[in-house]
Amino acid sequence: MNLLEVYFWTTTVKEWKYLLKQDKYKQQIIDSLKELVDKQLINVYAFVVMPNHVHLIWELKAMNGKEMPHASFNKKTAHEIIKDLKQNHPKVLPYFEVNEKERKYRVWQRDPLAILMDKKIKVEQKINYIHNNPLQEKWNLAKSPDEYYWSSAKFYESGIDDFGILTHYMEIF
């Protein structure tokens, strides 16, 4: 990935487990994004946190030390979730065990989807997709996009950013 480019990015929980159903894990994702935004390493243009995956449209602006911001995001969220599972849900933890040299547990599947957003129309199509994801019959998490809390839809509907992480896509496109 090149810096200063905007991507539609999807990361998925290992084996598509519904780990992100709990709001505390959704909040950890938001907190991690906020930390990266506050450090001016990313801009978040749109997002949705679903029960087993996260969609983002974001701009990777700068390295976080020696690693890309998306690597920092995956590492921090995985660490926080594993820590909580150990403390509060030890019976769930074995579902995330892996036999890898560098780690004992894996929260996120390898190789998240990253698609370069180089045209305004592409961004608008993906924002529409992101905001309508919770309404799909499979999920049925809300009746309208702005009704689903863990999304940027309300921001685009009303201008209210409940999370303090969002930048309107029209600022760059």
Q: Are strands 53-60 and 113-116 parallel, antiparallel or unpaired?
A: unpaired
Environment class of residue 2 by beta-carbon count within 10 Å: exposed (0-12), middle (13-18) or buried (19+)? Answer: exposed
**Domain total of the chain:** 1
Q: 13 - beta bridge partners?
A: 108
pLDDT digits (tens, 9 = 90+) for 82-123: 999 999 999 999 999 999 988 899 999 988 999 999 999 999
Rg value, the chain, Cα: 16
For range 1-16, the mean pLDDT: 83
Is residue 63's pLDDT more than 70?
Answer: yes
Res. 64 pLDDT band, cuts 50 70 90: confident
Res. 4 pLDDT band, cuts 50 70 90: low
Q: Which helix (H) or strand (E) holds 5?
A: strand 5-12
- Tell me the DSSP string of 8-70: EEEEEBGGG--GGGSHHHHHHHHHHHHHHHHTTSEEEEEEEE-SSEEEEEEEE-S-BTTB-HH
Could you give the CA distance from residue 28 to residue 7 in angstroms, rounded to a whole number?
21
Tokens representing residue 11 in the block: 């990361």
The angle subtended at Cα 45 by Cα 111 and Cα 16, nearest 5°, is: 35
User: How far is residue 128 CA from its own chain's centroid?
Assistant: 16
Could you give the CA distance from residue 133 to residue 65 in angstroms, rounded to a whole number?
33
Q: Which helix (H) or strand (E) holds 7?
A: strand 5-12
For range 146-153, the mean pLDDT: 97
For range 15-42, the mean pLDDT: 96
Q: Is the dihedral of CA 150, 136, 156, 114 positive or negative?
A: positive
The boundaries of the domain holding residue 156 are: 5-171
Tell me the average pLDDT of the chain.
Answer: 93
pTM of the model: 0.93
Res. 67 pLDDT band, cuts 50 70 90: confident
What CATH number is associated with residue 109? Answer: 3.30.70.1290
